[in-house]
Amino acid sequence: AHLVGVATEARGARPVRGRRYAPLVAAVLILPGLAWPYLNGAILQPGSFQKLPTYWQTTADWLHTYSPDSRALVVPATAHGIYTWGSPIDQPLDVLADSRWAQRDYVPFGTAGNRRALDAIEQALMSGGEVPGLQDYLSRSGLYYVVVRNDLDPDQFGYVPTATVKRSLTESGFHRVTGFGPTVTGGRIAEGTPTQVEGLYPRSRSVEVYAPDSGTRRPGQAGLLPVAGTAEVSGGPESLLPLSADPALRDRPAVLTGDNHPGIATPALRTAVDGLRRADTRFGLVNTNTSYPYTPKERNSPDADQNPGEEPKQILPTKGIAHQTTARIEGARSVTASSSGNWLLYLPQFDPVNAFDGDPDTAWAEGAPDSAKGEWLRIAFDRPTPVPATIGLTPLPQDDVRAAPTRVRIETDKGATTVDLRPDGTRQQVKAPQGSASWLRVTILDTQSARPALAGAGFSDISVPGVRATRALQMPADSTRADQFTFHRATGDGALTLTDTETALHRSFTTTGPSRFTFKATAAATPTDAFDKLLYAVAPDQRRKITATADSTARLGTNTSARNLTDGSLATAWIAGDKPTIHLRWPGKQPVSTLVLPGAGGLSTRPEKIEISSPDGAATAGVDENGVARFDPITTDRLDVTITATAPLTLHNPLADADLQLPVGLTEAYIPTLDQYRVKQPTAARAFSLPCGKGPAVTIDGTRHRTSAKGTLTDLTERRPVTVSLCDTLDLPAGPHTLTTDPGGALSLTDLTLTRAGTADAAAPTTRRLTIDDWLGDRRQVRVGAGEATYLTTYENANDGWQATLGGKKLTSLRLDGWQQAWLIPQGAGGKVSLSYEPAVTYDAGLIAASVALAALIGLALWRRREPDPLEEPAAPPPPGRLLGLVALTLVGIVIAGPWAALVPALAVLAWKRHTLLVPLAFLAMTAAGAVAATGAGSAVREGQGAFSPAAQLLALLALFAALQTSPTSEARGPGHPATRTPAEGKNPTEGART
């Protein structure tokens, strides 16, 4: 109606019958349509709700009663507050809780260090396994209870199953305290879900509260830490999580190398951790948002869908690359790719270097949003390298979620060849440009997929003779004075990641002087055939037995080893990975004609057809519904069984928006004639010990060091950390060092600490007493007893606005753990410590001044004024001047559009000549912008396309500037232009035409 009215008025004195009714007709037709959604309630967005569930009020009341001083942690993190009952966006505890609580927010309201500390906790809880040190890490962060919200909407992007979170908590020493609300299902059961899968969905109360073991220190509103025990940490706040597993760090205040540590010249412990890594972050996600580690000068992939070719984006507690762990490419000058992993998520396990590391269990996959065509991978050799006429390529196989490359171009500086590939994931020899080359590039030209692929096409191996590239991590430059070096490798533990980010440790560090170092390490079981054999070896109760190993085991949980196939129990199972082949071995040749392979149920399907091979014969057999396969007798002592067909059983995958086939699973591999060879499982608490030389080896500066390992069988089957010890002493000279561990094997090292001999083992707790007198608002008061120098910490974000005084003297402020506000309390007498937030004074004064101004405004509004003369014509407002219409609008355009602000002067000329064209121009430009934006509908929202394309943005700017453009007055336009008269100047032009 507004556009029609303006257009009608702009036509000047040109008489058109019925013209004055156009605005009315437009309003009558359009306004009811706009109002209708408000009248019928359709304006309410999905997720609207009437009130917050009462169980959240009960949760807030419980925390107020049982956690009045300690802060509770709410998990899992979510980008937006989307629940099964509605979408409040903010969290229920925002408006209900009187006690303190924390969560990993979508927007970083706190400091950078606090964000990284919460990220570390979230990443740990996603593992689904034991997290050493988690209890102490939460305690030193001021956190005690953990609130698990089971009522989150499982369909939202980035959702972490609460069953995974709760398993991480219980494995790490937490226990359930209470629960509130109705019982809910842990996940949404899609229509058509198999009955055997429905039973796996856990049922629990809407909200549950977990607590650490009774031996964990319960933090209050503030705490005291001894200055004498200060540890200087090279790393970030997340580095303190693995350090918290070491009793030597308990009761120690920690200061990052980039922060000041007043009160002590030389810290009692200097430790370096590889946690603060240079990597890119996608801030639109709350998890799976961090790339693989970058080299000091590395940038984002040039064709990445987000921030292509830019410096990595990070929230850092301290500035400077000297405080960060960086990557170093070994065996090549560089390895780059057009994209990696996924266009939206970061999947660091698909690092481009992985295609050249010679490890078949690692891979590179492209991360294009739509098609893999044109995606490329390039290695720059560190020296001229002879490339043979053929090289080996092993593409990732095509399956339900992944496309496979079927045609690629191989280029070097000697030329290019185009070759076809099979999409079955096998190693293939292909032609390459022969000759000495300085680089090699593989470009995907075509792919094959059963449906629009969820995962990118890629390669697990590109083999060039003499070329093996790996990504090593270089400890921070500020770590050279460290007395302790801690290395950590994240593992999937069968929860949310199907492959580990790193398959082995590869670290470089520097020591300042020669010294002997103590060695402390832990390892976790790796689902390989070597692990299957280890389970038999550590429990040799039966000498003559049948053994089972597998080529692959799915990471759908723990205790799914092929060892379970010969224990005679239907309560254990093996779930196949991408290679469903098992190997059966027994003593002495026996005739075999029947094999029983009962399905495992749950998240697996049963076999329907198998291929059997052995040195003594082969067979192909069908498998009936009971799992029985019969074939001609083979007298042998071994069988290799490959499952070639499975029963169709699918499960809906919301990310792929498709029904995906479940993997095959078996509870037993039973040969009736060999029943006496089956081996029962030993007791779970049974201890095992691997002698020197049988543990995972460690190589330091080229010297291979033997290790031993010990733990329990439960540690192995549940993939919990087992203790690894060095068999000999470790003496390191001054200078740079390199440490590597072997990938694969039965056990793989995950955490390793080297400590200089003579370093203090633990810090003595402070003898000072702390009493909280007042902790409300921005004026707080505590009492501190006499004693040694201590740090007073508040377990809150450091803020320059907070000031503290003791006996009228200002205390020195500092930051602990990379984010906590603290003050140095000198040695000597105690007393009252007053804390105040200084900006509150200005804020309170502003509120008072605003209240006075508001009262004055109301008074002036009510003050009696002279009544206006009803016969007096109101003065017409002056038309916009040249400053407002041109200069001001141009300046605004420069701010929002840069050089495209040149449109404003061009439109000003149009307004001068033909101002009546501005309205239709704005209308047409906005319509065209909408049409361009519509071309991207249904595709991934990304930069440079659809609504974010240059064309759409330019058209929208044109519409905006045309709508805001002002017309000069008739006097300014000069003679010959009809005047636009206002009501104050005379009659409506239409009325004049009628008379």
Using only C-alpha atoms, what is the Rg of the chain? 35
In-domain check, residue 155: yes
Residue 626, classified by CB atoms within 10 Å of its CB into exposed (0-12), middle (13-18) or buried (19+), is: exposed
Question: What are the tokens at 75?
Answer: 């998990």
| 89 and 206 together in one domain | yes
Count up the domains in the chain and report the number. Answer: 7
* Structural domain of 21: 1-43
Rounded Cα distance, 564 and 570, in Å:
9
What's the CATH number where 446 sits? Answer: 2.60.120.260
Asked if 921 and 962 touch (Cβ cutoff 8 Å), the reply is: yes
Tell which of 783, 812, 839 closes a domain. 839
Domain boundary among 656, 677, 698: 677
DSSP 8-state secondary structure symbol assigned to residue 117: H
In this structure, is residue 744 part of a structural domain?
Answer: yes
Domain with residue 808: its CATH number is 2.60.40
DSSP secondary structure, 744-776, as one string:
SSSEEEEEEEEEETT----PPPP---EEEEE-S
353/459 same-domain check: yes
Residue 654 and residue 698 in one domain: no
Whether 862 is covered by a domain: the verdict is no
Q: Which residues of the chain have pLDDT under 50?
A: 1, 12-13, 493-498, 970-972, 976, 979-995
Mark whether 610 and 637 lie in a shared domain: yes
Both 345 and 413 in a single domain? yes
Domain presence at residue 616: yes
**Cα end-to-end distance, the chain, whole Å:** 27
Where do we find the tokens 């987000």? 306
Do 572 and 668 lie in a common domain?
A: yes
- Give the residue among 164, 175, 210 at the shortest CA–CA distance from 59: 210
| Per-residue pLDDT at 133 | 94
Q: Is residue 599 part of a domain?
A: yes
Asked if 600 and 697 sit in the same domain, the reply is no
Q: In what side-by-side order are the strands of the sheet with 143-149?
A: 101-102, 71-75, 143-149, 203-211, 175-185
Closest CA to 655 of 946, 941, 453: 453
From edge to edge, which strands make up the β-sheet containing 628-646? 547-550, 581-596, 628-646, 607-614, 617-622
Contact status, residue 598 vs residue 668, Cβ threshold 8 Å: yes
- CA 517, CA 650: separation in Å to the nearest integer? 53
Same domain, 832 and 947: no
- Is the same domain home to 732 and 802? no
Helix %, strand %, coil % of the chain (to 5): 25, 30, 45
Is there a single domain that holds both residue 82 and residue 207? Answer: yes
On whether residue 868 sits in a domain, the answer given is no
pLDDT at 922: 87
- List C-alpha distances in Å: 408 to 353, 373, 381, 428, 521: 19, 9, 20, 12, 43
Residues 155 and 202 in one domain: yes
- Per the CB < 8 A criterion, the answer to whether 511 and 483 are in contact is no
Going 232 to 238 to 241 to 243, the CA torsion angle's sign is negative
Distances (CA, A) of 535 to 274, 539, 546, 563, 809: 32, 7, 13, 7, 65
Residue 844 exposed, middle or buried by CB count within 10 Å (0-12, 13-18, 19+): exposed
| Final residue belonging to a domain, choices 677, 705, 739 | 677
Rounded to an integer, what distance in angstroms lies between the CA atom of residue 710 and that of residue 861? 83
Quote the CA–CA distance of 296 and 311 in Å, as a whole number: 10
Domain match, 357 and 469 both: yes
Instruction: Look at residue 198 and tell me if it is in a domain.
Output: yes
Structural domain contains residue 776: yes
